[in-house]
Amino acid sequence: MNREWRDTAACRDLGSELFFDNARTDEAKAVCSTCPVLAACRTDQLAWEAESASRRYYTVGVFGGLSGPERNRIHYPRKEVA
Ligand code: SF4
């Protein structure tokens, strides 16, 4: 997997703490919203999580502008109730 996109990520000089603090999810997402490589980040993270059930189920942190629960809902979409 090519991860060269990380070189231009908006978070490259920030620590990971912000992105794993549930009380600061909106702040982390605000950084992602300015990121020129958001799409690549989101695609790679979802692909990495999809590789195993435990990664898919226990999604944590903000990646590609999505919180862990938001990515979990992508992996496990809820069925519409009629
Ligand atoms: S989308 Fe967010 S988590 Fe991903 S590289 Fe950009 S700033 Fe970092």
Cα 5-24-41 angle, rounded to 5 deg: 15
Residue range 50-60: mean pLDDT, rounded: 96
> Would you place residue 81 in the very low, low, confident or very high pLDDT band (cuts 50, 70, 90)?
confident
Q: What is the mean pLDDT of the chain?
A: 95
Pocket probe for ligand 1: among 35, 44, 46, 60, the residue whose CB has the most ligand atoms within 8 Å is 35
Report the distance separating Cα 25 and Cα 17, nearest Å.
Answer: 11
In a domain, 6, yes or no: no
Written as six digits, the tokens of 22 are 């549930």
pLDDT at 58: 95
pLDDT at 18: 98
Which residues does a 6 A CB cutoff place in the pocket of ligand 1?
A: 9-11, 19, 31-32, 35, 37-38, 41, 63-65
Residue 66 lies in domain: 14-75
Residues 15-47 have pLDDT tens digits of: 999 999 999 999 999 999 999 999 999 999 999
In a domain, 64, yes or no: yes
Name the domain count of the chain. 1
In a domain, 61, yes or no: yes
φ, ψ of residue 63 to 5 degrees: the values are -140, 135
Residue closest to 1 by CA, chosen among 37, 35, 40, 36: 40
In a domain, 29, yes or no: yes
Report the distance separating Cα 76 and Cα 58, nearest Å.
Answer: 12
In a domain, 58, yes or no: yes
Global pTM reads: 0.91
